[in-house]
Amino acid sequence: MTVTTPFPARLPVLDDTGRAALFTEARTANTFTGEPVTDEQLRSIWELAQWPPTAANTQPLRVTFVRSEQGRERLLPLLAEGNRAKTASAPVTALLAADLDFHEHSPVTFPVKPGMREGLAAQGRDGRADMARFNASLQIGYLLLAARAHGLATGPMAGFDADAVTAEFFPGGQHRVLLVVNLGHPGDDAWHPRLPRLAAEDVLSFA
Amino acid sequence: MTVTTPFPARLPVLDDTGRAALFTEARTANTFTGEPVTDEQLRSIWELAQWPPTAANTQPLRVTFVRSEQGRERLLPLLAEGNRAKTASAPVTALLAADLDFHEHSPVTFPVKPGMREGLAAQGRDGRADMARFNASLQIGYLLLAARAHGLATGPMAGFDADAVTAEFFPGGQHRVLLVVNLGHPGDDAWHPRLPRLAAEDVLSFA
């Protein structure tokens, strides 16, 4: 079940413009212009974000894009007060959730391991929750960078009532909202001063 | 506390070469050549991976790069059997852990919220675990793409004894290993056939 490398012996590297767009210069936006984000852009972001890996190809992330006036009215009261004005100004807000029943797709997404669906089914939602959240969180990292790859600014927010957002937009107990992210084009004074990163010595070690 | 945009009004987009390197063509490697990965490359990967956002700039990810013969001998028996041969062939294996005491850095990393360290200290390690794991998992997503940005293949593995790897390499209860990732240059027959991704309709919805 192996195939010949699809790549040249030497893998491509990301150039400085790409590094700036995704990592070194990109910033979290706190205001947005009125310029819309199109359906085509949102689908193209997902086209890109779907590819990096998840454990056993589980892909548990689910995304609801809130754009309508009605959707926004349901969401805003469930956010921390400090996040409401900027969210009201964003053309689209993505609700990023883990699907605790991700295993239902396993016969298609991971055919190399027959019985995986049944094994995970026996664990129940509580037993699958860590795997769902961990892999959905990896996918959120991919999605944030995929949005930046499309020339959009992201505004991830942890300040919201997770139980209430889950109940309002993903009722039934199958999902758990992990993060709320504004997407759009940066408006006036969109950026706070950059906060310091840890020293490499506080993060990296060698064994 | 806002600053004028450091960007042009139109943010940069990632070109097709960059999209291929990080998202669309990059693949999980299952074999590696003997070509080493240098300290400089590992530090440069972290230089890039450190920038995308975490909640309240908490940055809880900690990384141990296993490269020595001794380090490898400690690690291999703690992996699932199917992961041992490829890990033995990789020039470096990264252990990616969440630091449950990330809040100790908050006075420096998030000075805009005085008292954050004390508030999180009162929650204890169990109370901080979800925040540590979620944000460290986002950072793992960033790190995998940052390694690809350096022309390296990644081989993330969920098949290992997390308690044992944590006890062996991060003793003391402050950390929790979340993922083990081989890094290097792809060897012969490095790639399995690509597994299917979910249909967009199974992931995306609009509100």
State pLDDT tens for residues A6-42.
454 689 999 999 999 999 999 999 999 999 999 999 9
Share of chain B above pLDDT 70, in %: 96
Residue with tokens 């996040």: A83
Q: What's CA A203's distance to the chain center, in Å?
A: 24
- Tell me the angle at which helices B116-149 and B39-49 cross, rounded to the nearest 10 degrees: 120
CB spacing of A191 vs B5 below 8 angstroms: yes
ipTM of model: 0.96
Residue type, B182: N
**CATH number, residue A104:** 3.40.109.10
Helix, strand, coil distribution of chain B in percent, nearest 5? 45, 20, 35
Could you report the per-residue pLDDT of B133-163, keeping only the tens digit for each? 999 999 999 999 999 999 999 999 999 999 9
| pLDDT category of residue A4 using cuts at 50, 70 and 90 | very low
Q: Do B150 and A13 touch (CB under 8 A)?
A: yes
Element (H, E) at A118: helix A116-121
B183 forms beta bridges with: B92, B154
| Residue B145 within a domain | yes
For residue A96, pLDDT beyond 50 = yes
Q: B6 pLDDT exceeds 80?
A: no
How confident is the model at residue B9, as a pLDDT?
63
Residue B178 lies in a domain: yes
Does residue B114 lie within any of the structural domains? yes
Residue with tokens 């400090």: A82
Provide the token pair at A56.
């056993």
Do residue B134 and residue A139 have CB atoms under 8 angstroms apart? Answer: no
Instruction: Please state, in angstroms and rounded to a whole number, the distance separating the CA atoms of residues B122 and A120.
Output: 35
Facing B137 at nearest CB: one of A3, A64, A138: A138
A72 vs A77: CA distance, rounded Å: 9
Q: What is the pLDDT of residue B10?
A: 81
Q: Bridge partners of B61?
A: B98
Residue A34 resides in a domain: yes
CB < 8 Å to B5, chain A: 186, 189-191
Nearest to B137 by CA among B156, B111, B117, B160: B156
A1, pLDDT greater than 70? no
Percent of chain A residues past pLDDT 70, beyond the cut = 96
pLDDT reported for residue B187? 95
How do residues A130-154 score in pLDDT, each as one tens digit?
999 999 999 999 999 999 999 999 9
Question: Is residue A205 pLDDT above 90, yes or no?
Answer: yes
- Residue A2 falls within a domain, yes or no? no
* Contact list, B43 vs chain A (CB under 8 Å): 200, 204
**pLDDT at B84 exceeding the cut of 60:** yes
Domain span holding position B89: 27-188
Chain B residue closest in CA terms to A147: B13
* B122-141 confidence digits (pLDDT tens): 999 999 999 999 999 999 99
Split into its structural domains, chain A has a count of: 1
Closest CA to A21 of B17, B61, B155: B17
Mean pLDDT of B25-50: 96
Residues of A in contact with B42 (CB under 8 A): 204
CB contact under 8 A, B13 and A146: no
Q: What is the pLDDT of residue B161?
A: 98
* CA–CA distances in Å: residue B76 to residues A168, B47, B58, B89, B165: 46, 28, 31, 11, 10
Mean pLDDT of the region A104-109: 98
Type of residue found at A165: V
The first and second tokens of residue B32, run together, are 């590696």
A70 to chain B, closest Cα gap in Å: 8
Residue identified by tokens 């990616």 is B96
Answer yes or no: is A3 within a domain.
no
Query: How would residue B1 be classed by pLDDT, with cut points 50, 70 and 90?
Result: very low
Q: Residue A118 pLDDT more than 50?
A: yes
